Amino acid sequence: MATADHVDLERFIAGVSKRNPGQPEFVQAVQEVAEDIFEFIADKEAYHEYQILRRIAEPDRVMSFRVCWEDDRGNIRVQRGWRVQNNNAIGPYKGGIRFHPSVTESVLKFLAFEQTFKNALTGLPMGGGKGGSNFNPKGKSDHEVMRFCQSFMTELYRHIGADVDVPAGDIGVGGREIGYMFGQYKRITNEFTGVLTGKGLEYGGSLIRTEATGYGAVYFLQNMLKNVGDEVAGKTVVISGSGNVATHAAEKATQLGGKVLTLSDSEGFIHDPAGIDQTKIDWIKELKGRRRGRISEYVKEFKGSSFHGDGARPWGVACDLALPCATQNELNGAEAKILVSNGCIAVSEGANMPTDLDGVHVFKQAQILYAPGKAANAGGVAVSGLEMSQNSARISWKEAELQQHLLDIMAGIHERCVEYGGRKDSKVIDYVRGANIAGFKKVADAMLAYGVV
């Protein structure tokens, strides 16, 4: 039945582009997934008949709202806020909130789409969502950030709930912002529920949530290397970003015996041939955290290192392992070629969609170990899922227990990728294909169970 629905990939992508004009990031994310799913579903009639891919690539709903706030000089400022609820077939919508001037509906739709597959891969019952605003927290006082967060939540609260949609942090949203937003939610609703994750430990947060994304991305790398009889110890590591994900990826890579050579921010990257060890990582955490400084300040503190400005990216520094942990499309096809030709054997994405489509094709063709963000950075949302469980049961698990859960969940995602990413004609696992198909299958089968809803 419904053979007319067997549209080819090109026509499908042309349709997605047409229905989502001016949304290149969203179209890119859908294309990357569709390239694998079309092959997988070729002989699976039910997925065609019920238009599963088409339905996953159409968010359940997108809310857009005005956010007014007053700056410290008394000026009234107007920002735009969104929540994209992509799919709740396997659990409440779940995904971060991003505050950055580059945030658009396209960026949040791509993130919510990716989140749907990522959350399915964790094995926990979470659907996919994402939200945010074009608000720029850089240079704002704590009080300005508080007023913005309160105003943002005053609109958002009506769309979320512990069993409906559970936001968390992302770029520009850390512990401070989650605290302000949770406080406002509680004030408006008079309810203390696990409506947000990434909360402070004093008010329902989970141990290791802060570390989980960066650690998880390195655990995934470790799993890929182990699968080919290799390890992190003794390897050089290039990392982009210097926020939550990047600093914790650097920390775990160092703990496992790797030598981290670079970190970056939007102004450029630092290169430290002596290696960015734990003392230096702690200094950076303080710099980028409480002091809200710039990565360029590193070279004044640590001799022998250099700063490369004008937004330069670290991919030209020769390395064995690479972890893009800053933002989307920060690694293009030409940079992917340089990494490969410099001998990089594995890439694990801490960020969401950091590699553009050309870069993905370069890594796939070179047959290096390449883990897409939806698999490699799922450790963060996985521990968010564990925070939800702890909140529902009104208990707190011990650190050792949570560390073991994180290790097991990352190993489980790796296994699912191997199961669906192996090819008869190659010994190399296609992790992109594995993640796409394993994530898709779980959501798709739940959607089939519901019929047309």
Residues 219-278 that bind ligand 2IT (CB under 6 A): none
CA dihedral over 384, 439, 126, 166, signed as positive or negative: positive
**What letter represents residue 109's amino acid?**
K
Shortest reach from residue 118's CB to ligand 2IT, in Å: 6
CA angle at residue 152 from 149 to 153, to 5 degrees?
Answer: 85
151 binds, among ligand NDP, ligand 2IT, none (CB under 5 to 8 A by kind): none
73, burial (CB in 10 Å: exposed 0-12, middle 13-18, buried 19+): exposed
Binding mask 423-442 toward ligand NDP (x if CB under 6 A, else -) reads --------------------
- Specify the residue for token string 């650690």: 215
**Cα torsion at 244, 250, 251, 255 (round to 10°)?**
160
User: By CB under 6 A, is residue 435 in contact with ligand 2IT?
Assistant: no
Nearer to ligand NDP, 246 or 270 (CB): 246
Q: Which of 81, 128, 169, 372 binds ligand NDP (CB under 6 A)?
A: 169
282-319 in b/e form (b: 16+ CB < 10 A) is: eebbebbeeeeebbebbeeebeebebbeeeebbbbbeb
The CA–CA distances, whole Å, from 361 to 32, 114, 320, 430, 433 equal 10, 18, 19, 11, 12
Question: CA-based Rg of the chain, rounded to a whole angstrom?
Answer: 21
443 binds, among ligand NDP, ligand 2IT, none (CB under 5 to 8 A by kind): none
In the complex, which residue's CB is closest to ligand NDP?
243
Residue 130 known to be catalytic: yes
Q: Give me 15's structure tokens.
A: 């349709």
The CA–CA distances, whole Å, from 318 to 237, 241, 337 equal 9, 17, 12
At 437 the three-state DSSP class reads helix
Binding mask 309-328 toward ligand 2IT (x if CB under 6 A, else -) reads --------------------
User: By CB under 6 A, is residue 172 in contact with ligand NDP?
Assistant: yes
Shortest reach from residue 406's CB to ligand NDP, in Å: 12
Nearer to ligand 2IT, 198 or 268 (CB): 198
User: By CB under 6 A, is residue 122 in contact with ligand 2IT?
Assistant: no
Nearer to ligand NDP, 13 or 243 (CB): 243
Shortest reach from residue 212's CB to ligand NDP, in Å: 7
Nearer to ligand 2IT, 350 or 434 (CB): 350
DSSP 159: G
Find, among 436, 444, 395, 445, the residue nearest to 416 by Cα: 436
User: By CB under 6 A, is residue 115 in contact with ligand NDP?
Assistant: no
Shortest reach from residue 21's CB to ligand NDP, in Å: 23
Shortest reach from residue 227's CB to ligand NDP, in Å: 23
User: By CB under 6 A, is residue 380 in contact with ligand 2IT?
Assistant: yes
Nearer to ligand 2IT, 94 or 288 (CB): 94
Q: Which of 94, 109, 130, 442 is catalytic?
A: 130
- Specify the residue for token string 């799919």: 87
Q: Which of 102, 193, 227, 332 binds ligand NDP (CB under 6 A)?
A: 102
Binding mask 76-105 toward ligand 2IT (x if CB under 6 A, else -) reads ------------------xxx---------
Nearer to ligand NDP, 27 or 246 (CB): 246
Cβ(284)–Cβ(314) below 8 Å: no
- Specify the residue for token string 């690694």: 331
95 binds, among ligand 2IT, ligand NDP, none (CB under 5 to 8 A by kind): ligand 2IT
Phi/psi-derived region of residue 88, left when phi > 0, alpha when psi is between -120 and 50, beta in every other case: alpha
User: By CB under 6 A, is residue 244 in contact with ligand NDP?
Assistant: yes
Cβ(133)–Cβ(152) below 8 Å: yes
Residues 154-213 that bind ligand 2IT (CB under 6 A): 168, 170, 197
Tell me the C-alpha distance between 178 and 176, whole Å.
6
Q: Which helix (H) or strand (E) holds 307?
A: strand 306-308
User: By CB under 6 A, is residue 439 in contact with ligand 2IT?
Assistant: no
In the complex, which residue's CB is closest to ligand 2IT?
96
Which residues are at the interface with ligand NDP (CB under 6 A)?
100, 102, 169-172, 213, 241-246, 265-267, 325-327, 330, 350-352, 377, 380
Which residues are at the interface with ligand 2IT (CB under 6 A)?
94-96, 115, 118, 168, 170, 197, 352, 380-381, 384
